[in-house]
Amino acid sequence: MAIIIRFLLLYNQHLISQINELLLFITTSIPYRQWKHEDSHSPKYQKFKVDKLPIIIKFEKQDYKFLLDYYLWKYNKPLKPINKRSDDGLSHKIFCPKCNAPHDYLYKNNGSNGQCKCKVCATTFQNSNRVAKPIKLKCPHCQNSLEHKKNRLHFRIHKCVNDNCSHYKSSLKKLPKDLTSKERYKYKLRYIYREFTIDFFKMDLSQLPGWACSFKFKKNSSHIMGLCLTYHVNLGLSTRKTMHALKEIHNIDISHTMVANYAKTAAVLIKPFVDNFDYNPSNELTADETYIKVKGKKGYIWLIADSISRSILGYQVSDNRGVGPCILTMRMAFNKYKKFPGKSLKFIADGYSAYPLAAQQFALDDENMTFDITQVIGLSNDDEISSKFRFHKQIIERLNRTFKSSYRPTCGYDNENGAIYGLTLWVVYYNFLRPHKITSGKTPLNTVPELINADNMPAKWQILIYLGQQRMLETQNT
């Protein structure tokens, strides 16, 4: 026995010496700096990088008479009209759209291609008095004008093509030394800006859908409607299982189509109450998106929750993972604030680029809506930010799993309307009806005085529908 123990000890010492040699080889042969920055410069992470906003020069009207007086004062000589040796074909009705200069100060800038230029303010425009570029975009690093490269569904891509740009030069220095010139396309080297063609800030978030039906109880009472919502939403049963439960437990004969109609209309009527409820949100929000199936195709659910109270403040269903649905979800969450916290807002999300892009658009639309995005990347705490904000990321991931537990029995949705009303009713249940661990498993997250004295869950659903109707009437009257 003593011989075996001695052999194991010697073998253990041999393994320790091998480990020390491997550690010595790693520390001397592989620099730490390469470990630290390898992932951030990898091609698969390039699409998640978001550049800062460009320099935007907007079109502003001027007076050509004032500019002529300024030219005379500065150079001590007047700016003479253009001495045209022959008829250039410009109509005398054409004037500069920026400074309103007459025909005498205008000339053709590119021959017969239709572009004119003003000698007073140097503005280029078309023969139809239309400005060629009402907004100029310049690179924030080199002040070079951006070039329009591509068109996408909801935005245009502008790129800085200046080879002397500091951003481009610094990106070149970060490339691997053994990279060939043909493989540079894998990396994002130049400054890129996305100009959105749709104004997501003018979309109505409270518009009623056209598929909503009415609660005309010809044969069934409102209590049966409450039972349908209880089985369908609270217990997560499908419409057909809800139909069978009502038949076998309560001896109520109702079709699964009627259950779906009740759920759709209930979602429409309760939504105004849910979206305008005073949640008193904190300054710590967390957001994430998850996958669903709509007609067998991939769809997305966007959720924004309060990290302190755990209430869901913003939610959207979309068929794409673009910036538009992200902006709409943020708008829904930010509408809960009586006064937007601004820079004091802690917004935690994953490494997806839609969140910083949406934050840029908020700052571009309103200076008071400027806030920072904290991105927690990966599943392990490899950096200080991940260690500090991992708790918030776990909250939203847990919320996604809770939603998936109710979504999974449906095996996907038949259409987008079903996904919308399903998510809306689930948010209602999660915020106002479901007991939570944070409240010791006894009460919902938000207290509604009208629900305190309700005896059962069907009655609570009826009260929520009534509160939603009252909220709609108040909105119509104001």
The domains of the chain are located at 61-126, 136-196, 268-477
For 12-57, the pLDDT digits (tens) are 888 888 888 887 777 666 544 433 434 445 555 555 677 788 887 7
The pLDDT-based confidence of 218 (bands split at 50, 70, 90) is low
Region 268-477: CATH code: 3.30.420.10
Please say whether the beta carbons of 357 and 386 come within 8 A: no
The predicted pLDDT at position 105 comes to 87
Alpha-carbon distance 413 to 131, whole Å?
Answer: 48
3-state secondary structure the chain: CHHHHHHHHHHHHHHHHHHHHHHHHHHHHCCHHHHHHHCCCCHHHHHHCCCCCCEEEECCCCCHHHHHHHHHHHHCCCCCCCCCCCCCCCCCCCCCCCCCCCHHHEEECCHHHCEEEECCCCCEEECCCCECCCEEEECCCCCCECEEEEECCCEEEEECCCCCCHHHHHHHHCCCCCCCHHHHHHCCCCCEEEEECCCCCCCCCCCCCCCCCCCCCCCCCHHHHHHHHHHHHHCCCCHHHHHHHHHHHCCCCCCHHHHHHHHHHHHHHHHHHHHCCCCCCCCEEEEEEEEEEECCEEEEEEEEEECCCCCEEEEEEECCCCHHHHHHHHHHHHCCCCCCCHHHCEEEECCCCHHHHHHHHHHHHCHHHCCEEEECCCCCCCCHHHHHHHHHHHHHHHHHHHHHHHHHHHCCECCHHHHHHHHHHHHHHHHHHCCCHHHCCCCCCCCCHHHHCCCCHHHHHHHHHHHHHHHHHHHHHC
For the cut 70, the answer to whether the pLDDT of residue 278 exceeds it is: yes
- pLDDT at res. 38: 43
246 strand-pairing partners? none
230-251: average pLDDT: 90
Share of the chain above pLDDT 90, in %: 15
Looking at residue 377, its pLDDT comes to 81
Binning pLDDT at 50, 70 and 90, where does residue 175 land? confident
Using only the alpha carbons of the chain, give its radius of gyration.
31
pLDDT digits (tens, 9 = 90+) for 446-460: 888 888 888 889 999
The confidence score (pLDDT) of residue 415 equals 79
Tokens 């400027």, residue located: 370
Count the alpha carbons within 13 Å of 224 in the hemisphere toward its beta carbon.
22
β-pair partners for 156: 151, 195
Which is more confidently placed, 213 or 193? 193
Which residue in 143, 133, 148 sits closest to 194, CA to CA?
Answer: 148
Highest mean pLDDT among 9-18, 85-94, 162-171: 162-171
Rounded average pLDDT over 227-249: 90
- Cα–Cα distance, 69 to 77 (Å, whole number): 10
Residue range 353-386, pLDDT digits in tens: 889 888 888 888 888 888 888 888 877 777 777 7
pLDDT-based confidence at residue 286 (cuts at 50, 70, 90) = very high
The residues facing 290 across adjacent strands are: 301
> In this predicted structure, which of 59-73, 97-111, 211-225 has the lowest mean pLDDT?
211-225
User: Is the predicted pLDDT of residue 132 greater than 50, yes or no?
Assistant: yes
Name the pLDDT band for 243 (thresholds 50, 70, 90).
Answer: very high
Residue 36: its pLDDT value, please?
A: 40
245's tokens: 């439960």
Q: Lowest-confidence range among 33-42, 55-64, 295-304? A: 33-42
User: What's residue 111's pLDDT?
Assistant: 67
Residue 264 has what pLDDT?
Answer: 87
pLDDT at residue 17 in the model: 82
Average pLDDT (345-359) is: 88
pLDDT, one tens digit per residue, over 133-143 is: 667 788 988 98
pLDDT higher than 80, residue 461: yes
Are 153 and 161 a contacting pair, CB within 8 Å?
no
Mean of per-residue pLDDT scores for the chain? 82
Q: CA-to-CA distance for 407 and 234, rounded, in angstroms?
A: 12
**Taking every pair of C-alpha atoms in the chain, what is the biggest distance, in angstroms?**
114
* Percentage of the chain exceeding pLDDT 70: 88
What's the confidence (pLDDT) of residue 39?
Answer: 45
Q: What integer pLDDT is reported at residue 12 of this predicted model?
A: 82
